[in-house]
Structure formats: C-alpha cells, structure tokens
Amino acid sequence: DQQVKQNSPSLSVQEGRISILNCDYTNSMFDYFLWYKKYPAEGPTFLISISSIKDKNEDGRFTVFLNKSAKHLSLHIVPSQPGDSAVYFCAVYSGGSNYKLTFGKGTLLTVNP
Amino acid sequence: DAGVTQSPTHLIKTRGQHVTLRCSPISGHKSVSWYQQVLGQGPQFIFQYYEKEERGRGNFPDRFSARQFPNYSSELNVNALLLGDSALYLCASSLPRSDQPQHFGDGTRLSIL
C-alpha cells in the first residue's frame, strides 16, 4: 500500500523551461514534506521542504507547492538546467517526528540542452 | 565539513553469510537512520537510532539489526543473507527536530550471489 505516489516515472524538458514534478499522498497525518534529488552512485541530496501549515516554499530556482485538500505536492524548477537531470524523490515525515521518511518511487528528470 | 560517510562502498556476499555495514553521521548529529533501496523503488526505512536507543523500526525481518555507538556512529548487521537483500543501503543523519531533513551518505551497494 503506497502512501506516497509519484505517478510519472520520467519527465523530459528543454533547458530554460519549467520542470514540474508531482507527488500525491494518502495519509492526512503527514505533516512535513521534502524533496530529494539523487544522481547515480550518490546518496539522495536534500533540496527543499514544506510544513503542512504552509502552501508554498521557495529556495532559488526551486519552489514547492502543497495542496492539503487534494493531498498533492509539486516541485517547480525554473529555469531548468542540464545539471538538474537526476531522479527526484518526494518524501514525508508524520506524527511530528523526523525519525522516519516515507519515500515515493521517484521521477527521472532529463533536461535537454 | 564532512557529510555522512558509509563503508564499504561495495560488497559482494553469498547466500547465508552475514554482513556489517558502517556509518558515521555528520558532526553534531545524534540521530542515524538506515534505509534499503532496491532498483526502481524509493528508499525504505529500516531503523532509526537516537542517543544509542532504537526509536523506530520498519517492516524488516529480525535478520536485520543495528546499533549506535557512543560517538553516534552506527552499524547495520544482516544475517543469513538472501538474494533479495541485494540493494543499496543508505545511512542518514539528522538533528532531532521535526523540521530538520535527514542527510544521506552515498550508500553501500550490497550484491548477494
């Protein structure tokens, strides 16, 4: 039973355009949401996060949007760069604790020059 | 500052053997978590240790065990290895606050023959 779903296994965009990665979750008890980026042969790298009390958080080219009523999370990357090509994971904490991350399956983003 | 370090980077074992994987957290982080990532999936939570105590355990059999040492480094032990244990094993460390992300090492690639 997948609690965090990334329904697009892959996404391809042109350099300079916007990349939008999506994530859906099933449990309304999830209270902190994170995005990680993973290159081959490296561990996941933390990108950006958002608390359930907010609906938007920005950090440079990266913006995360949270729609609690739809249980939907998205990551926007503007402008996209070839170095952004990686697997992106949506992950969540629940219960006011950061002891356990629950991950989606990931979306492979390819940014073409 | 050094990030999370894991050793070894690669390991090949045969069925029935046991294995010990090691992790050193980021300086100042007292919490260490272990995850298993198989191909095509997101990382799955195995254990978290904080101040040498187990805080949480994922849905893994008793063949998996872990411990944390006084310097906050950690070991993951897997006994009676099965072919299905072939995976990337990731260690993460964090500060003990619900808004703090976990930071990952580059993992140990375990192959079972």
Q: Does A45 touch chain B (CB under 8 A)?
A: yes
Residue B22: band (very low, low, confident or very high) from pLDDT cuts 50, 70, 90:
very high
Of residues A49, A91, A105, nearest to B41 (C-beta): A105
Is A46 at the interface with chain B, CB within 8 A? yes
Q: What values do phi and psi take at B52, rounded to 5?
A: 70, 5
Inter-chain contact B103–A46, Cβ cutoff 8 Å?
yes
Average pLDDT of B70-87? 97
Amino acid occupying residue B7:
S
pLDDT given at position B2: 80
What is d(CA A6, CA A90) in angstroms, rounded to the nearest whole number? 7
Nearest Cα to Cα of residue A67 among A79, A77, A52: A52
Q: Are A81 and A109 in contact (CB under 8 A)?
A: no
pLDDT of residue B96: 82
Q: Which residues in chain A are closer than 8 Å to B104, comparing Cβ atoms?
A: 36, 43-45
Q: How would you classify the pairing of strands B74-78 and B64-68?
A: antiparallel
Q: What is the DSSP letter of B4?
A: -
pLDDT at A11: 97
Q: What percent of chain B has pLDDT over 70?
A: 99
Q: Which residues pair with B65 in a beta bridge?
A: B77
Would you state the pLDDT for residue A36? Answer: 98
Looking at every residue in chain B, the average pLDDT score rounds to 95
Confidence of residue B1 (pLDDT cuts 50, 70, 90): low
Pairing of strands A10-14, A107-112: parallel
- pLDDT averaged over 10-residue windows placed end to end, chain A, 113 residues: 91 98 92 95 95 96 97 97 98 81 97 96
What 8-state DSSP symbol labels residue A85?
A: -
Structure tokens belonging to residue B30? 């007292």
**Rounded average pLDDT over B32-53:** 94
Instruction: Identify whether the C-beta of residue A64 lies closer than 8 Å to the C-beta of residue A74.
Output: yes
Locus of tokens 């209270």 = A31
Chain A CB contacts of B50 below 8 Å: 99
Across the interface, do B90 and A44 touch by the CB < 8 Å criterion?
A: yes
Which pLDDT score is estimated for A1?
A: 66
The secondary element (H helix, E strand) that includes residue A12 is: strand A10-14
